[in-house]
Structure 1
């Protein structure tokens, strides 16, 4: 059993849900060295999230952004607003979606379903650089 770990950053983005599967594969080239395994992606932030969802129709990402804004609206009055009115809603949305996603690796590739992709969900209005720790455990090619 082998392990690999690295940290990378996504390009800064404004609020929204973004398909980042290709970026992950580019920034975690170690994936191709594993015959079988798991890659865990952990975002080191409390106002963004990672998830696995639709990879084809961008309307799904737009609808998800809209739905999360309704679940935790910026218009509410929150006690925590240290970094602005979008701060606490971003924390709520991040907790709902989650800080990590784990994807199987098969023959040096992510073993996602046909319509699945990795999403970065950014919940802050202004651009932020987001760091991710990628940890792989598995069997390397011999």
Structure 2
């Protein structure tokens, strides 16, 4: 059993849901060394999230963004607004979606389903760079 851990920064993005599977794989070339295992991706931020969802139809990402806006709209009056009116809604959405995901590795690749992709859900209006800690555990290829 072997372990690997690295931290990388995602490209800055504004509010929305983005398919980032390719960016994840590009930042983790060591995935190719693993026969089988797991990769945990942990977002080091409280106003963005990671999830697995539809990887084909971009309308799903737009609908998700719209739906999350209805769950925690910026128009509500929140006590916590230290960084602006989108601050607290971003924290709520981040908690609902989650800070991490775990994906199986099979044959040096992410073992996602046919229609699954890794999403970054960015909940702030202004562009932010987001750091991800990737921890891999598994059996390396011989």
Q: Shorter chain as normaliser: what TM range?
A: over 0.9
CA distance in 2, matches of 1:139, 1:33: 9
Deviations 1:69-98 (A, max 9, x none): 000000000000000000000000000000
Extract unaligned runs of 5+ from structure 1.
none
Per the TM alignment, residue 61 of structure 1 is displaced from its structure 2 partner at its CA by: 0.2
TM-score norm. by structure 2 comes to 1.00
Deviations 1:17-52 (A, max 9, x none): 000000000001111100000000000000000000
Tell me the equivalent position of 1:111: 111
CA distance in 2, matches of 1:38, 1:17: 24
Alignment of 1:118-137 (within 5 A): 118-137=118-137
CA distance in 1, matches of 2:108, 2:11: 25
CA distance in 2, matches of 1:126, 1:111: 33
SS state at 1:125 partner: coil
Per the TM alignment, residue 112 of structure 1 is displaced from its structure 2 partner at its CA by: 0.2
Tell me the equivalent position of 2:16: 16
CA distance in 1, matches of 2:109, 2:129: 26
Task: Determine whether 1:81 maps to 2:81.
Answer: yes
Tell me the equivalent position of 2:62: 62
Alignment of 1:37-56 (within 5 A): 37-56=37-56
CA distance in 1, matches of 2:141, 2:111: 16
SS state at 2:114 partner: coil
TM-score norm. by structure 1 comes to 1.00
CA distance in 2, matches of 1:97, 1:69: 13
Per the TM alignment, residue 4 of structure 1 is displaced from its structure 2 partner at its CA by: 0.3
- Over the aligned positions, Cα root-mean-square deviation in angstroms equals 0.3
Per the TM alignment, residue 140 of structure 1 is displaced from its structure 2 partner at its CA by: 0.2
Extract unaligned runs of 5+ from structure 2.
none
